[in-house]
C-alpha cells in the first residue's frame, strides 16, 4: 500500500511538471470567451507564457511542437490563432492566405475599407463580410479572418491599436485601405470605488455594499448572476457574509469594457446581543421598544448616559426641572449583555430632533368686536397648530383657513402639535389675549318705501350716517328720509346708528340696497291713433299692469291693463311710466310721453258674400270701388302682389278659376280726402272639388237594351247627366245609380255652400265599357265551431268587423270558413266578394251582427276544497247542463249535471263556461277559473318495526309525536327514536298513528301492528347431569339447543346452546335457561327456567325459583310505561356481554381447567421460557466466535 501511495505521489509530481504546457494547450484550443478565472490571471502577456513553456521539461517541449503543427495547418478565427501564430508573418500564414493578384499594366480597384465596430458588452469586433477575407494586425501579430461576421477579442488585444484590411480578390480588386481601430484597456477596479459594512452579529445577514461611482455590478463569488451595485447612499440592502466580486460594467455608449473583478469580503458577525430598534413616540415624548427583560445604555457622551432596565419606555426630558435636555441630539443605544455569554449589541444611533419653534409673531389675536359677541379671532392658527384657553386641559385643533373664530375674550395658549406621522415634537407654547369689546348700538332696520321714495324707520332721538364709499349722508331728528335723485344708482348703502362714544360704539352696519329707477324705453310704448273722428278709440300699447299713465296735465296716475293695451283713449298727449311698488320693490321709472292723433271718417267695411253655385261675389255697392289684394292663406297673411279692382256699376262680380284657392283682402276705397279706406274684409275662395273618373265604376247592361246599367259611387254630393242633356241629376244615397242605358255620362261633384265648395270639373264615363258585378255573399255563423261558413270557392273575400274605432280584417277563408276572433264578437261584420281587375266589380256587401259571447256569473259557481291532501273529494256546484267544465290543461270539456254538482275532484284549477249551441244560436262563454285547493296533508303513516332482541319498536322520528293505542288506552310517544315495549303489549295488536299539528299536517292513517307473545320454555325439556365429584366440573345440561341460551346465576353474560343440545364441563351451581331472542326468527326471549347441577359427594343446593320478568313501575293508572330507548337485554334478565352481536349459529361450549391442569400449563410455559433463553445464548456465542 505504501508503495502504491509512493507511486501515486510520483505520478502526481510528474503531472504537476506539465502544468505550464496544460495552460498553453487550453489557450490554444478554446474558441470561447476566456473564463473569469482566466481573465484574472491574464495580465501576464502571452509571449511570456510561450517563453515559460519553452523552458519546461522535454515532454512539454514535445507537446508544444505538436501543438504548433496542429494549429498551423488551418485558418482559424479564434483567439488560438493569436497565440499559435505568435511570430510575425510566419511561414504557415503565408501559405494559407490567398495570393495577391499580380500587378498588371492597369491598376485594380481597391476593396472597400472595413467599417468594423466594437461590441464592448460581448467583447467582439462586428461588421465583417462573411464572404470576404480580412487580415487583422496588432503589434507583430497578423490574424486572417474569413467566413464570419464577428471576431472574439482576447485579453492581450485590449489596450492596443488594431489594423484591419479587407483582402483583394485575385484579378478583381486589390487590398483595401487599412481601418485603424483603438481598443481601450479595461477600467481598473479597486477598493476606493467600494463602500461596505460587515454583518453586525451572527446570523443577522445585514452586511451592505455600496458604490462611490456608477455602472458597477456585483455578485456573490461562485454564483452566476451579476446585479447592479447601487450608490453607497442607498446600498444593496442586507447581505449574508461572504466573498463578493465587484466590477465595472461594460458600457457601449462610453466605449468601456467590463473591468476585471475585485474581491470584497463581508465578514461574519459574532453572536452578540441584538441591535436595539428603539423608536420615538413624538406625541408622548418617550422612547419605545425596550425589552423589559433586558438592560440598555442610552448615551450622548461620556458624561451623559442613562440606564434603562425593566421598562418598555423611557421619558425624553427637555431640561426643565433640572433635567438634561435630550432634544436636538444624537443618542447611541446599546443593549447590554445579560448572561456574560454574548457581547453587547451594536449601537443603534437615534436622533432626537429639536422641538418645533413657534415665533410669537406668527399668531395674532383679534379682539371681540362688541360686548358678549364672543367673536374674537386667532389668526395664523392652521391645522398644524392646537390651542386652548388658559386654565383648560384639552387642546383644540386649528382651522383649515388658518383663522380660529368665535372665541370669547381671554388668554389663549397656542402651539404646534406633535405628530408621529410627521415625526415632529410639540413646539414651544405662546400666549395671545383677546380683549372684550364695547356694547354696540342696535343694528338699524331701515326700510325703503318705493312708492313714496323715502327711507323709513329712523329713531328721531338718535343720529345715523348713510354711507357708500366716500359718499356720506347724515340723518337725525326725523323718522323718514326723502331719497334724493342722485341716490337712485342701484348701490348698497351702509346705515349705521352712531354710538355715544363712551358706553356704546357704533352699531353694525345695515346693508341697504337703494335701487336705480327702472328704465322704460320710449320705443317700447306704441300708439294706435283714433280710427275715426270722435270715435275716441285711440290706444296705448305695451302699458301693462306694472305701468301707469295719465293725460298731460292730470294729477292722478292710472294703472295699465293686464293685456298691455289701454283702449278707448281720446286724442291728446299722454305720460307713461313704470309704476312704483313696495311689493315688487321697484321705484317709478322716468316718464315717456306719447301723442294720440285724431282720426278721419272710415268707409264702411265690405260685406261681400259668395254664390258657390253661380260662382259670383255678391252684395257689392254699385256706387263704390273695391280693391281685392291676394294674401298668403295662413297668418300673417303676407300680400302676394296679386290685385283685382272692381269698378262701380254692378252688385256682383264673376269669380274666375285664377281666384280660387286663395285668400283675398277686400277694401272699399275712400271716396274723398275726408275718408279713410275701409277696414279690409278677409275672404277665402276655395278650390274646386277634386274629381277623378277612376273613382266611378260603370256596370254595363246585363243584356243589350235592358237599360239596367249602373254607375257606382255617385252619391248625393254628386251630379250626373247623359252627355248632351242640359239638366244635372242628383246621385243616390247608396251611391249606385241604376236603370241606365249604355251611353257616355258626365259626372261632377256639385257646389255646396255649406261646405263652401265650388262644383268640380266634369269627367266622362262610358257605360258601354263597364264591368260586371260579383254576386252578394250569403255567409252563416257556426256557433259551436266559432266560425263564419258558406264561403264560395275560388273567390277573394273581404271580411271586416268594426270594433269601436277601428276595423278588424279577417284572413281569407280556409276550407271555406273563417275563424271568429275575440275582437269580432258583438260587432257588425261586413263581407263582400272583391273585384276582379278588368273583369268584375266587387259584390254588394253582406252586413250582419256577430253576437256577443254568453257570460258566466262567477258567484253562481262555488267550490269545496279537498278534505285533506290527496283525498280527491273536491266539489264544484252551479255547473248546470247548459254548462261544461274541464281541469286546466285538459283538452276535453265535460257537461254539467242536472243538480249542478260535480264531485270527486282532485285539487287543481278548473275552467267553467256556458256551452255553445247552433240551435240556440249562442257562442260559448269565456271560461271562468275556480281552484279546488288541496287539503292539509296527512302525516306519513308510521312504519315501525319490532326489534325482538332489544324488545323495542324502532323507526320513530324523534321530531314527531305518535300515539299508540292498546285496548282503548292511548300511549303518547314523543322525542325518541325507539320505544320500549311495555309488558302489557306482548301478545297484543296495537294501533300507531303519527299525530298532525292541525296546521301543516293531519293525523296519519293508522299502522296496525301485532306484538307477538313471549315463547314458553317447558322445564321438562332441559335435563341435568351432576358433577362426578367435588370440583370435577364435569356437570352437564341436556336439551339446551342452539335457539336457547344459558348462564350461571350471578353471571352477566348469556351463552348460546349447542346444535346437539348438550352443555358440558359445567361446575356445580344454579343455571338459568331460556329461548334466545331473534330478529331473524321474529321471536322475543322467553322467561327463564332454573336448573341445579349438584355434586355427588355434597348435598345439592336447593333449586331456586326461576327469576320472573319484573313488571315496570307504572307512571300512572291510565298511562302504561313508555319511554326512552334502552339496551336490547330483555326486561328482568341480565345483559348479554356483547348484546349488539348477531348470533352466528355456531356453538362455543364453555371449557374450564380441571384439577392438575394448571400445574401442567405452568410447566409448559416455564419450558418455553427456558428454550427461549438457551436459543438466545447460543446465538450470542456463535456471533462472538465469528
- Higher model confidence: residue 813 or residue 90? 813
**For 359, phi and psi rounded to 5 degrees?**
-65, 150
Mean pLDDT of 130-146: 93
Query: How many Å apart are CA 76 and CA 78, to the nearest integer?
Result: 6
Cell numbers 402651539: residue: 415
Where do the domains of the chain lie?
2-182, 191-266, 279-352, 360-437, 447-514, 535-594, 602-685, 693-770, 780-843, 858-932, 945-1011, 1015-1154, 1156-1186
Instruction: For residue 1126, count other CB atoms closer than 10 A to its CB.
Output: 13
Question: Residue 1124 pLDDT > 60, yes or no?
Answer: no
Q: Write out the H or E segment, with its range, that includes residue 77.
A: none
Structure confidence at residue 20 as a pLDDT band (50, 70, 90): very low
Mean pLDDT of 1159-1184: 72
Phi-psi region of 693 (alpha: psi -120 to 50; beta: other; left: phi over 0): alpha
* Residue 687 DSSP label: P
Nearest to 818 by CA among 805, 831, 827: 831
Place 83 in a pLDDT band, splitting at 50, 70 and 90.
Answer: very low
Provide mean pLDDT across the span 476-493: 93
Q: Are 1001 and 869 in contact (CB under 8 A)?
A: no
d(C-alpha 691, C-alpha 713), whole Å = 12
Cα separation, 364 vs 431, in Å, equals 10
Taking the domain 602-685, which CATH number applies? 2.60.40
Instruction: Show the CA angle centred on residue 409, arms to residues 406 and 411, nearest 5°.
Output: 110
Task: Identify the DSSP state of 648.
Answer: S
Strand partners, 228: 217
- Higher pLDDT: 1129 or 1031? It is 1031
- pLDDT, tens only, 696-741: 989 888 888 888 899 999 999 999 999 999 999 999 999 999 999 9
Is domain 191-266 annotated with CATH 2.60.40?
yes
What is the mean pLDDT of the segment spanning 103-129?
88
Q: Using 50, 70 and 90 to split pLDDT, how confident is the model at 810?
A: very high
Contact assessment for residue 80 and residue 27, using Cβ atoms and an 8 Å cutoff: yes
Nearest alpha carbon to residue 1074 among 1052, 1057, 1051: 1057
Q: Which fold has domain 2-182?
A: Immunoglobulin-like (2.60.40)
Name 251's Cβ contacts closer than 8 Å, sequence gap at least 6.
120, 215
Q: What is the pLDDT averaged over residues 551-572?
A: 94
Angle between helices 58-71 and 46-54 (to 10 degrees): 130
CATH of the domain spanning 693-770? 2.60.40
Percent of residues, the chain, with pLDDT higher than 90: 65
Give the pLDDT score at 1: 43
Q: Is 11's pLDDT higher than 50?
A: no
Mean pLDDT value of segment 942-962: 94
Enumerate the β-bridge partners of residue 227: 218
**What is the tens place of the pLDDT at every residue in 98-115?**
443 344 456 899 999 999
How far is 567 from 570, CA to CA, in rounded Å? Answer: 9
Calculate the average pLDDT of the chain.
Answer: 84
Is 81 in a helix, a strand, or coil? Answer: helix
Does residue 1110 have a pLDDT over 80?
no
pLDDT at position 944 over 90: yes
Pairwise CA distance, residues 333 & 278, whole Å:
8
State the Cα–Cα distance between residues 402 and 396, nearest whole angstrom.
Answer: 13
Average pLDDT over residues 447-464: 93
Q: What are the contacts of 105-109 at 24+ separation with CB within 8 A?
A: 107/174, 108/168, 108/171, 108/172, 108/173, 108/174, 109/173, 109/174
pLDDT at 456: 95
Cα separation of 780 and 802, whole Å?
18
Helix (H) / strand (E) containing 262: strand 262-266
pLDDT, tens digit, 9 for 90 and up, residues 507-527: 889 999 999 999 999 999 999
**Of 57-66, 262-271, 907-916, where does the model show the most confidence?**
907-916
pLDDT in tens, 825-846: 999 999 999 988 888 888 889 9
* pLDDT number for residue 1107: 47
Q: Are 351 and 278 in contact (CB under 8 A)?
A: no
> Which residues does 494 contact at the CB level (< 8 Å), separation at least 6?
466, 467, 468, 509, 510, 511, 512
Q: 367-389, pLDDT tens digit by residue?
A: 988 888 899 999 999 999 999 99
Matching residue, cell 326512552: 1124
Rounded (10°) angle between helices 58-71 and 19-29: 10
Topology (CATH) of 360-437: Immunoglobulin-like (2.60.40)
Question: What is the pTM (predicted TM-score) of this model?
Answer: 0.33
Burial class (CB in 10 A: 0-12, 13-18, 19+), 884: buried
The answer to which of 580-584, 688-692, 818-822, 1099-1103 has the lowest mean pLDDT is 1099-1103
Three state DSSP letters for 780-835: EEECCCCEEECCCCCCCEEEEEEECCEEEECCCCCCCEEECCHHHCCEEEEEEECC
pLDDT reading at 49 higher than 50: no
For every residue of 126-180, DSSP letters joined together read: E---TTSEEEEEETTEEEEEES-SEEE--GGGTTSEEEEEEPP-TTT-BPPPPEE
DSSP state of 893: -
- 858-932: CATH topology is Immunoglobulin-like (2.60.40)
Topology alike, domains 360-437 and 602-685: yes
Task: Determine the pLDDT at residue 236.
Answer: 81
What is the reported pLDDT for 1169?
85
Do the strands 565-569 and 538-541 form a parallel or antiparallel pair, or are they unpaired? antiparallel
Percent of the chain with pLDDT over 70: 85
Amino acid at each position: 500500500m505504501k508503495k502504491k501511495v509512493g507511486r501515486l505521489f510520483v505520478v502526481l509530481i510528474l503531472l504537476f511538471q506539465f502544468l505550464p504546457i496544460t495552460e498553453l494547450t487550453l489557450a490554444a484550443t478554446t474558441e470561447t470567451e476566456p473564463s473569469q478565472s482566466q481573465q484574472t490571471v491574464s495580465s501576464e502577456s502571452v509571449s511570456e507564457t510561450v517563453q515559460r513553456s519553452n523552458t519546461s521539461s522535454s515532454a512539454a517541449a514535445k507537446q508544444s511542437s505538436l501543438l504548433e503543427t496542429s494549429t498551423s495547418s488551418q485558418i482559424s478565427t479564434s483567439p488560438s490563432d493569436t497565440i499559435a501564430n505568435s511570430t510575425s508573418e510566419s511561414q504557415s500564414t503565408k501559405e494559407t492566405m490567398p495570393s495577391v493578384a499580380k500587378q498588371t499594366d492597369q491598376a485594380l480597384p481597391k476593396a472597400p475599407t472595413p467599417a468594423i465596430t466594437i461590441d464592448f458588452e460581448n467583447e467582439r469586433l462586428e461588421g465583417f463580410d462573411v464572404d470576404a477575407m480580412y487580415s487583422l494586425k496588432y503589434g507583430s501579430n497578423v490574424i486572417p479572418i474569413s467566413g464570419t461576421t464577428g471576431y472574439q477579442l482576447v485579453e492581450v488585444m485590449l489596450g492596443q491599436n488594431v489594423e484591419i484590411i479587407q483582402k483583394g480578390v485575385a484579378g478583381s480588386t486589390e487590398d483595401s485601405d487599412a481601418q485603424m481601430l483603438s481598443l481601450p484597456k479595461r477600467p481598473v477596479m479597486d477598493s476606493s470605488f467600494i463602500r461596505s459594512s460587515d454583518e453586525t452579529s451572527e446570523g443577522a445577514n445585514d452586511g451592505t455594499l455600496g458604490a462611490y461611482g456608477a455602472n458597477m455590478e456585483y455578485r456573490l463569488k461562485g454564483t452566476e448572476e451579476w446585479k447592479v451595485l447601487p450608490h453607497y447612499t442607498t446600498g444593496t440592502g442586507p447581505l449574508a457574509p461572504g466573498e463578493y466580486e465587484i466590477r465595472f460594467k461594460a458600457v457601449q455608449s462610453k466605449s468601456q469594457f467590463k473591468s476585471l473583478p475585485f474581491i470584497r469580503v463581508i465578514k461574519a458577525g459574532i453572536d452578540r446581543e441584538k441591535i436595539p430598534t428603539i423608536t420615538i413616540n413624538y406625541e408622548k415624548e418617550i422612547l419605545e421598544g425596550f425589552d423589559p427583560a433586558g438592560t440598555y445604555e442610552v448615551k450622548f457622551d461620556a458624561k451623559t448616559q442613562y440606564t434603562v432596565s425593566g421598562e418598555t419606555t423611557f421619558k425624553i426630558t427637555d431640561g426643565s426641572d433640572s433635567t438634561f435636555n435630550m432634544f436636538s441630539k444624537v443618542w447611541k443605544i446599546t443593549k447590554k449583555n445579560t448572561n456574560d455569554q454574548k457581547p453587547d449589541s451594536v449601537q443603534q444611533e437615534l436622533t432626537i430632533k429639536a422641538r418645533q419653534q413657534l415665533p410669537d409673531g406668527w399668531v395674532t389675536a383679534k379682539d371681540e368686536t362688541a360686548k358678549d359677541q364672543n367673536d374674537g379671532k386667532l389668526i395664523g392658527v392652521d391645522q398644524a397648530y392646537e390651542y386652548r384657553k388658559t386654565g383648560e386641559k384639552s387642546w383644540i385643533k386649528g382651522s383649515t383657513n388658518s383663522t380660529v373664530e368665535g372665541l370669547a375674550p381671554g388668554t389663549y395658549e397656542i402651539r404646534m402639535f406633535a405628530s408621529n406621522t410627521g415625526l415632529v415634537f410639540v413646539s414651544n407654547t405662546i400666549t395671545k389675549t383677546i380683549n372684550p369689546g364695547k356694547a354696540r348700538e342696535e343694528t338699524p332696520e331701515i326700510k325703503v318705501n318705493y312708492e313714496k321714495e323715502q327711507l323709513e324707520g329712523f329713531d328721531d332721538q338718535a343720529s345715523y350716517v348713510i354711507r357708500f364709499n366716500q359718499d356720506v349722508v347724515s340723518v337725525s331728528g326725523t323718522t323718514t328720509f326723502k331719497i334724493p335723485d342722485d341716490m337712485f344708482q342701484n348701490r348698497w348703502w351702509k346705515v349705521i346708528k352712531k354710538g355715544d362714544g363712551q358706553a356704546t360704539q357704533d352699531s353694525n352696519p345695515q346693508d341697504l340696497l337703494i335701487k336705480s329707477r327702472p328704465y322704460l324705453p320710449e320705443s317700447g310704448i306704441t300708439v294706435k291713433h283714433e280710427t275715426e273722428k270722435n270715435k275716441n278709440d285711440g290706444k296705448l300699447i305695451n302699458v301693462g299692469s306694472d305701468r301707469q299713465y295719465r293725460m298731460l296735465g292730470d294729477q292722478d296716475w292710472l294703472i295699465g291693463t293686464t293685456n298691455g293695451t289701454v283702449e278707448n283713449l281720446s286724442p291728446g298727449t299722454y305720460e307713461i311710466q313704470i309704476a312704483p311698488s313696495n311689493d315688487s320693490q321697484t321705484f317709478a321709472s322716468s316718464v315717456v310721453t306719447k301723442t294720440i292723433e285724431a282720426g278721419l271718417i272710415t268707409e264702411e267695411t265690405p260685406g261681400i258674400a259668395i254664390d258657390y253655385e253661380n260662382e259670383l261675389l255678391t252684395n257689392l255697392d254699385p256706387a263704390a270701388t273695391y280693391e281685392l289684394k291676394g294674401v298668403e292663406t295662413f297668418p300673417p297673411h303676407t300680400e302676394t302682389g296679386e290685385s283685382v279692382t272692381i269698378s262701380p256699376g254692378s252688385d256682383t262680380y264673376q269669380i274666375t278659376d285664377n281666384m280660387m284657392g286663395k285668400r283675398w283682402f277686400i277694401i272699399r276705397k275712400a271716396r274723398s280726402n275726408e275718408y279713410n279706406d275701409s277696414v279690409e274684409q278677409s275672404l277665402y275662395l276655395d278650390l274646386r272639388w277634386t274629381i277623378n273618373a277612376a273613382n266611378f265604376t260603370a256596370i254595363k247592361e246585363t243584356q243589350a237594351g235592358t237599360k239596367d246599367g249602373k254607375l257606382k259611387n255617385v252619391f248625393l254630393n254628386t251630379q250626373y247627366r247623359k252627355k248632351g242633356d242640359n239638366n244635372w241629376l242628383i246621385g243616390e244615397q247608396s251611391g249606385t245609380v241604376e236603370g241606365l242605358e249604355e251611353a257616355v255620362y258626365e259626372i261632377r261633384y256639385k257646389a255646396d255652400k255649406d261646405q263652401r265648395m265650388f262644383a268640380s270639373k266634369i269627367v266622362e264615363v262610358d257605360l258601354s265599357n263597364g264591368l260586371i258585378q260579383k254576386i252578394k255573399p250569403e255567409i252563416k255563423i257556426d256557433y259551436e265551431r266559432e266560425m263564419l261558413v258558406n264561403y264560395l270557392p275560388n273567390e277573394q273575400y273581404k271580411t271586416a268587423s268594426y270594433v269601436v274605432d277601428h276595423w278588424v280584417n279577417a284572413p281569407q277563408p280556409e276550407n271555406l270558413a273563417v275563424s271568429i276572433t275575440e275582437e269580432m264578437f258583438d260587432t257588425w261584420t261586413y263581407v263582400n266578394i272583391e273585384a276582379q281587375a278588368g273583369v268584375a266589380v266587387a259584390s254588394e256587401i253582406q252586413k250582419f251582427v256577430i253576437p256577443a259571447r254568453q257570460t258566466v256569473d262567477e258567484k253562481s259557481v262555488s267550490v269545496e276544497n279537498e278534505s285533506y291532501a290527496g283525498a280527491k273529494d273536491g266539489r264544484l256546484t252551479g255547473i248546470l247542463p247548459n254548462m261544461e267544465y274541464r281541469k286546466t290543461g285538459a283538452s276535453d270539456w265535460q257537461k254539467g249535471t242536472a243538480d249542478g254538482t260535480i264531485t270527486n275532484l282532485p285539487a287543481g284549477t278548473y275552467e267553467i263556461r256556458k256551452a255553445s249551441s247552433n240551435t240556440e244560436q249562442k257562442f260559448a262563454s269565456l271560461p271562468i277559473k275556480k281552484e279546488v285547493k288541496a287539503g292539509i296533508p296527512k302525516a306519513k303513516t308510521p312504519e315501525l318495526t319490532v326489534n325482538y332482541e332489544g324488545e323495542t319498536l324502532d323507526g320513530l322520528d324523534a321530531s314527531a309525536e305518535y300515539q299508540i293505542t292498546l285496548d282503548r288506552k292511548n300511549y303518547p310517544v314523543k322525542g325518541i327514536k325507539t320505544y320500549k315495549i311495555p309488558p302489557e303489549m306482548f301478545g297484543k295488536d296495537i294501533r300507531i298513528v303519527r299525530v298532525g299539528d292541525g296546521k301543516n299536517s293531519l293525523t296519519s292513517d293508522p299502522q296496525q301492528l301485532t306484538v307477538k307473545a313471549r315463547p314458553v320454555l317447558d322445564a321438562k325439556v332441559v335435563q341435568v347431569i351432576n358433577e362426578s365429584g367435588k370440583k370435577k366440573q364435569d356437570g352437564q345440561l341436556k336439551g339446551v339447543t342452539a335457539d336457547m341460551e344459558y348462564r350461571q346465576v350471578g353471571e352477566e353474560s348469556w351463552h348460546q346452546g349447542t346444535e346437539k343440545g348438550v352443555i358440558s364441563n359445567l361446575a356445580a351451581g344454579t343455571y338459568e335457561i331460556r329461548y334466545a331472542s331473534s330478529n331473524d326468527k321474529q321471536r322475543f326471549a322467553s322467561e327463564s327456567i332454573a336448573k341445579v347441577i349438584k355434586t355427588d359427594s355434597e348435598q345439592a343446593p336447593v333449586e331456586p325459583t326461576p327469576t320472573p320478568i319484573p313488571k315496570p313501575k307504572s307512571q300512572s293508572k291510565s298511562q302504561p310505561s313508555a319511554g326512552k330507548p334502552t339496551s336490547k337485554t330483555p326486561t328482568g334478565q341480565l345483559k348479554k356481554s356483547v348484546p349488539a352481536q348477531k348470533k352466528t349459529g355456531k356453538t362455543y361450549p364453555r371449557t374450564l381447567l380441571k384439577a392438575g391442569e394448571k400445574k401442567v400449563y405452568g410447566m409448559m410455559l416455564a419450558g418455553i421460557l427456558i428454550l427461549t433463553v438457551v436459543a438466545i445464548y447460543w446465538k450470542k456465542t456463535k456471533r462472538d466466535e465469528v
